[in-house]
Amino acid sequence: MDIQGEYHIAASPTEVWQRLIDPDVLSACIPGCESMTRASEDAYDCAVMAKYGPVKAKFKTTLTLSNINAPVSYTLSGRGQGGAAGFGEGVADVMLEETSDGTALRYTARFNAGGRIAQVGSRLIVATTRKFADKFFAAFSSGFDVAADDATA
């Protein structure tokens, strides 16, 4: 069950791309991200505090950038290990397209879970993924508006 979204950003695809691969930008946009350190060329170790209803737990997450096709598209995935609860993995395919006034950012995201999380939480996965993806991409795009405004100010 894929979730899709689209944002329009007043900056060129190359500028948007620079920020899409910038770990500082990514960590600032991931809801609940408390720390992020580079693990390898295209992978980062993050600590993410998830707060949804009764859930409040810190997950060690590995964030990976793959299928890199600069400055057009890539896949952003985060796999978190929840100990006794199981695991969860979120994947977003991101695509940039130049428009007359900037860049259209389109994403398709999905989330898979295994273990007890999947048993008790399957009915919540789509809504939670949508909320998480919306927060991430909204934060990412609004960061841009500010940057664009700053540039013209």
Partner 1 sequence: MYQFDYQAPDSLEAALAALRENDEAKIVAGGMTLLPTMKLRLARPEALIDINRIGSLAGVTEKNRAIVIGAMTRHADVAASKLVRDRIPGLADLAETIGDPQVRNRGTIGGSVANNDPAADYPAGLVGLGATVVTDRREIAADDFFTDMFETALEADEIITAVHFPIPKRAAYMKFPNPASRYAIVGVMVAETHDGIRVAVTGAAPCVFRVTAMEDALKKDFTPDAIAPIAVDGAEFNEDIHASAEYRAHLVNVMARRAVAAVG
Residues at the interface with partner 1 (CB under 8 A): 1, 52-57, 82-85, 116-117, 120, 122-128, 130-131
Pick the closest to residue 108 from 1, 21, 2 (CA basis): 2
Q: Cβ closer to partner 1: 55 or 138?
A: 55
Which amino acid type is present at position 100? Answer: S
Long-range CB pairs of 58-62, under 8 A, 24+ apart, other chains included: 58/34, 59/88
Q: Cβ closer to partner 1: 68 or 126?
A: 126
Distance of closest approach, residue 20 Cβ to partner 1, in angstroms: 25
Distance of closest approach, residue 61 Cβ to partner 1, in angstroms: 15
Distance of closest approach, residue 104 Cβ to partner 1, in angstroms: 19
Spatial separation of the C-alpha atoms in residues 153 and 149, rounded to whole Å: 6
Q: Is 127 exposed, middle or buried (0-12, 13-18, 19+ CB in 10 A)?
A: exposed
Q: Cβ closer to partner 1: 24 or 123?
A: 123
Distance of closest approach, residue 130 Cβ to partner 1, in angstroms: 7
Q: Cβ closer to partner 1: 38 or 56?
A: 56
Distance of closest approach, residue 125 Cβ to partner 1, in angstroms: 7
Q: Cβ closer to partner 1: 71 or 78?
A: 78
Spatial separation of the C-alpha atoms in residues 9 and 89, rounded to whole Å: 27
Q: Are 75 and 67 in contact (CB under 8 A)?
A: yes
Q: Is 21 helix (H, G, I), strand (E, B) or coil?
A: coil
